[in-house]
Amino acid sequence: MSSPPPSLNPAQLEAVHYLQGPCLVLAGAGSGKTRVITHKIARLLQAGYQPGQIAAITFTNKAAEEMRERAKALVGPRAAKHLVISTFHSLGVKLLRADGQRLGLKEKFSILDSDDVLSILRDAGSTTDAALARRWQWTISLWKNQGLSSDQAEAAVQNDDERVAARVMRLYEERLLAYQAVDFDDLIGLPLKLLQRDDEARAKWQDTLRYVLVDEYQDTNAVQYELLKALVGERAMFTAVGDDDQSIYGWRGATIENLKRLPQEYPQLKVIPLEQNYRSTGSILRAANNVIAANPKIFEKKLWSEYGDGDPVRVVECDNEEHEAERAVARIQSIRAGATTQAPAEWSDFAILYRANHQARMLEQALRKAQIPYKVSGGQSFFDRAEIKDLCGWLRLLVNNDDDPAFLRAVTTPKRGIGHQTLGHLGEFSAKWKVSLFEALFADSLSTAVNARAIGSLHEFGRYVNDLEYRFRHTVGSEDAKPVLMEWLKEIGYEQHLYDGEDNEKIAANRWQNVLDFIDWVARRCGGQLETEGGVTEETERKSILDVAQSISVILSLAERGGDPNVVTLSTLHASKGLEWPHVVLAGVNEGLLPFKSEDEEMTAQRLEEERRLMYVGITRARTTLAVSTLKRRKKGREFVQGIPSRFIGEMKLDEKTMKEDPREKLKALRAEFAKRAAQAKAA
């Protein structure tokens, strides 16, 4: 954060102190919206609200965590502990855990992650085509985010693809019901259903959560909007904080309509714009304002700053992607060494932002070549791979037999003759008797729900899990752990499973290698005599495989946090929202890329406007310097085609002199200078 002033400005004060009714805070980029929310929480406490009566809702866990930290600093740990600060989804979980039974949901319903969903869809639609299943998942999710049931979706289908998707959705919903499982979208939709249909529950929750604050309101979808409405009820005590100019998730179901509807549905709505920016220089803000001015406005808002103009925004024309990456690297090196008016910078002061993930490749290459440390944000980790999640599912089941999603994953991978029929019956049975799927396995009365043959397979599976658990509990130290783990893989036939599920042998082999790496990783953590890099052996505490399995989730969440190392950030524009850096480079700002144009989809005005907001988000990430680079030639097919600078560059209305100013010679000299310095450093 750039140093915010010690006290709130008049607009922020007004937003914080307005408690009389519904309130919409239009928080421009860098205008201190988190500050407003946390101060408003403090104000509410002061006004007599109990901590547990105040809910602050965010979109990501990260945002929720940060907000809780900031609130804690303001109101103290005791009050902060009881504040309801969570994502829409975890609030949904809270409601469903408490009152889901009123919808006929069992108490310990399972929450499926998107991999679980994908495999159910593949099974329900009987296809091995992962891409097709993913398209279904996509459409079904969009439907659900619009509040459509499978019936309604079926009635509204436009084409054959959608017709099939709707049919799969019906099967999918039946399957979820039988398993007593919900997906992420249900975590919003079902609580809404609860509040709409159950007067008692509605009264209870409206009485519990007496004031609701929503962060990033422009990202809400239709169902989230309805949930908010149901939650605040007639009293309508809420504050929505958002910025229509930063709405970039339309493709995910978020709708700006929610912003337009707010003043219509709540005529008494108090609208407070926050226009003073505490982040960026005048030049950067001017460029941002100019770009967004081309969009139609819902609410008038123009950012301003007390900071001086600072360095002009640069436009860097590059020959091709490779050249662009070099230029970005050269720029970073020269700024870091203090080649601008700014003070020398850390690596972590830099970010290179781009429209699409694949653009990161060249940039990574160039950074590696220049030996600059970097991280690619949003790159999925080792543990997100399907094969690793499969095995983690098994381990989770061993650690906690009642983990139903883990049960479902383990019992179906690899396939062991227990199909969805059997699992459906088992799910119904477990819901009826309020036990976990695993507990249901050994219930005497299970024979009333499942046929004898299936019971045989189920018992066999249950016994195997118990047996494995026993072995893993008593295997200690990495030397012993590895063979036991390998034996496990052999017993469940996992290698075969990988090769069966994939036509391409290379890919399967690659996955198997990942599995072996994972086994090594787990075994190493069992401790004992370990060889470290220098060939030195080291004695560490010995743990059982089960102990390690138990700590995996902790290790993972710690790894996520893992401090903030001093590295350059590469990120998509989408993933950059909410973050800021002193020095930002926007890469590949060309027609076709940003605004993105797809071959088979028409560029509507709406689409273009969202692309423009994306550009706006990118510009406003920068605090002191901003460079926008374009490609003169773009690779398309085997030939280069001419690259056209994005229309957004024109819209920034930069000075003529800024556009041209980028002496190639100077950069060359700088690069030579750095090569020299590097050589010297190496020699010394």
- The amino acid occupying position 223 is V
Which C-beta is closer to DNA: that of 92 or that of 273? 92
Among candidates 646, 658, 568, which has minimal Cα distance to 611?
Answer: 646
Of residues 297, 302, 361, 415, which one binds DNA by CB under 7 A?
361
**Maximal C-alpha separation, the chain:** 83
Q: How far is the CB of 658 from DNA (least distance, A)?
A: 28
Angle subtended at Cα 206 by Cα 204 and Cα 212, rounded to the nearest 5 degrees = 145
Decide: is 340 part of the binding site for DNA (CB under 7 A): no
Decide: is 127 part of the binding site for DNA (CB under 7 A): no
Decide: is 342 part of the binding site for DNA (CB under 7 A): no
Q: 570 pairs with which residues across the strands?
A: 352, 376
Enzyme catalytic residues: 33-34, 215-216, 246, 621
Decide: is 90 part of the binding site for DNA (CB under 7 A): yes
Let me know how many helices (H) and strands (E) the chain has, helices first.
30, 18
Site for DNA in 362-421 (CB under 7 A): 378
Which C-beta is closer to DNA: that of 180 or that of 359? 359
Which C-beta is closer to DNA: that of 193 or that of 355? 355
Q: Is 32 known to sit in a ligand binding site?
A: yes
What residue spans of 183-340 are helical by DSSP H?
186-197, 199-208, 222-232, 257-265, 282-292, 321-336
Q: Is 279 known to sit in a ligand binding site?
A: yes
Judged by CB under 7 A, the stretch of 82-90, 341-349, 463-471, 520-528 that binds DNA is 82-90
By three-state DSSP, how is residue 7 classified?
Answer: coil
Among candidates 681, 614, 682, which has minimal Cα distance to 648?
Answer: 614
Q: Is 35 known to sit in a ligand binding site?
A: no
Q: Is 27 known to sit in a ligand binding site?
A: yes
Residue 252 is classified by DSSP as G
Of residues 69, 81, 107, 114, which one binds DNA by CB under 7 A?
114
Q: Is 40 known to sit in a ligand binding site?
A: no
Residue 347 is classified by DSSP as G
Of residues 200, 300, 599, 656, which one binds DNA by CB under 7 A?
599
Q: Which two tokens stand for residue 243?
A: 């910025």
Q: How far is the CB of 418 from DNA (least distance, A)?
A: 27
Which C-beta is closer to DNA: that of 57 or that of 548? 57
Residue 221 is classified by DSSP as B
Which C-beta is closer to DNA: that of 326 or that of 611? 611
Cα-based distances in Å from 638 to 433, 601, 634, 635 = 63, 23, 10, 7
Q: Is 31 known to sit in a ligand binding site?
A: yes
What length does the chain have?
684
Of residues 1, 17, 46, 62, which one binds DNA by CB under 7 A?
62
- Look-up of token digits 């932002």: 353
Judged by CB under 7 A, the stretch of 43-51, 275-283, 389-397, 593-601 that binds DNA is 593-601
Decide: is 453 part of the binding site for DNA (CB under 7 A): no
Angle subtended at Cα 54 by Cα 53 and Cα 59, rounded to the nearest 5 degrees = 135
Site for DNA in 244-263 (CB under 7 A): 248, 251-252
Q: How far is the CB of 611 from DNA (least distance, A)?
A: 7
Q: Is 60 known to sit in a ligand binding site?
A: no
Report the 10 Å Cβ neighbour count for 393.
22
Of residues 97, 297, 369, 636, which one binds DNA by CB under 7 A?
636
**CA atoms of 21 and 236, how far apart (whole Å):** 6
Which C-beta is closer to DNA: that of 59 or that of 143? 59
Judged by CB under 7 A, the stretch of 56-64, 191-199, 392-400, 656-664 that binds DNA is 56-64
Residue 259 is classified by DSSP as H
Among candidates 379, 356, 377, 378, which has minimal Cα distance to 598?
Answer: 356
Site for DNA in 545-564 (CB under 7 A): none
Of residues 19, 42, 98, 130, which one binds DNA by CB under 7 A?
130
By three-state DSSP, how is residue 317 classified?
Answer: strand
Of residues 9, 146, 334, 357, which one binds DNA by CB under 7 A?
357
Residue 344 is classified by DSSP as P
Among candidates 551, 494, 495, 483, which has minimal Cα distance to 523?
Answer: 483
Decide: is 581 part of the binding site for DNA (CB under 7 A): no
**Residues near DNA (CB under 7 A), total:** 40
Cα-based distances in Å from 45 to 23, 32, 52, 207 = 17, 20, 10, 16
Which C-beta is closer to DNA: that of 130 or that of 530? 130
Of residues 356, 559, 669, 679, which one binds DNA by CB under 7 A?
356
Q: How far is the CB of 206 from DNA (least distance, A)?
A: 23
Asked if 185 and 96 count as a contact pair (C-beta separation under 8 A), the reply is no
By three-state DSSP, how is residue 23 classified?
Answer: strand
**CA atoms of 330 and 326, how far apart (whole Å):** 6
**CA atoms of 333 and 346, how far apart (whole Å):** 10
- Look-up of token digits 């609030």: 91
Of residues 39, 70, 89, 420, which one binds DNA by CB under 7 A?
89
What residue spans of 400-476 are helical by DSSP H?
404-412, 420-432, 437-441, 452-473
Q: Is 412 known to sit in a ligand binding site?
A: no
Q: How far is the CB of 602 from DNA (least distance, A)?
A: 11
Decide: is 598 part of the binding site for DNA (CB under 7 A): yes
Which C-beta is closer to DNA: that of 160 or that of 444? 160
Decide: is 574 part of the binding site for DNA (CB under 7 A): yes
**CA atoms of 588 and 457, how far apart (whole Å):** 56
Asked if 287 and 40 count as a contact pair (C-beta separation under 8 A), the reply is no
Which C-beta is closer to DNA: that of 46 or that of 114? 114
Decide: is 637 part of the binding site for DNA (CB under 7 A): yes
Residue 473 is classified by DSSP as H
**CA atoms of 342 and 335, how far apart (whole Å):** 8
Convert residues 6-45 into a mask of x (bound to DNA by CB under 7 A) and - (unbound).
----------------------------------------
Q: How far is the CB of 507 from DNA (least distance, A)?
A: 6
Of residues 61, 128, 513, 557, which one binds DNA by CB under 7 A?
61
Of residues 2, 8, 14, 60, which one binds DNA by CB under 7 A?
60
Convert residues 487-516 into a mask of x (bound to DNA by CB under 7 A) and - (unbound).
-----------------x--x--x------
Of residues 69, 107, 113, 500, which one binds DNA by CB under 7 A?
113
| Sheet strands (E) in 99-180 | 110-111
**CA atoms of 570 and 576, how far apart (whole Å):** 9
Q: Which two tokens stand for residue 374?
A: 């970097």
Q: How far is the CB of 644 from DNA (least distance, A)?
A: 16
| Phi, psi (degrees; rounded to nearest 5) at 213 | -115, 135
Known binding-site residues equal 27-34, 279
Known binding-site residues for ATP equal 27-34, 279
For DNA, the binding residues (CB under 7 A) are: 59-62, 87, 89-90, 113-114, 129-131, 138, 141, 184-185, 248, 251-252, 355-358, 361, 378, 504, 507, 510, 572, 574-575, 596, 598-599, 601, 607, 611, 636-638
